């Protein structure tokens, strides 16, 4: 599958109820346009190396920073 147009969004989701969330935030991949490439297939080694999105350090750091910014902005709004 070749993704022509896509985006990622973060949404609030309770970690106790949603398996694929981290610190009550989940990342959603939204595919707007794609093309099927049926003659290509991932190698077995690539499938074995696949890992969950929240196991990736860059995503973890992004979620933590976003969560911190959100909490900071909420505290600033409440102190006004």
- Which stretch of DSSP H or E encloses residue 78? helix 57-78
DSSP result, 51-73: --GGGSHHHHHHHHHHHHHHHHH
On whether the pTM is more than 0.85, the answer is no
pLDDT in tens, 3-27: 788 888 888 888 788 777 777 778 7
Residue identified by tokens 């709004």 is: 77
pLDDT in tens, 21-80: 777 778 788 889 988 887 877 788 877 777 776 677 887 888 788 878 877 887 888 776
Residue 9 burial class via C-beta count within 10 angstroms: exposed 0-12, middle 13-18, buried 19 and up? exposed
């Amino acid at each position: 599958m070749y993704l022509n147009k896509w985006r990622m969004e973060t949404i609030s989701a309770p970690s106790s109820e949603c398996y694929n969330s981290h610190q009550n935030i989940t990342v959603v991949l939204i595919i707007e346009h794609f093309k099927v490439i049926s003659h290509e297939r991932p190698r077995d080694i690539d499938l074995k190396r696949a890992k969950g999105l929240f196991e990736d350090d860059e995503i973890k750091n992004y979620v933590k920073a976003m969560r911190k910014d959100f909490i900071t902005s909420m505290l600033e709004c409440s102190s006004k």
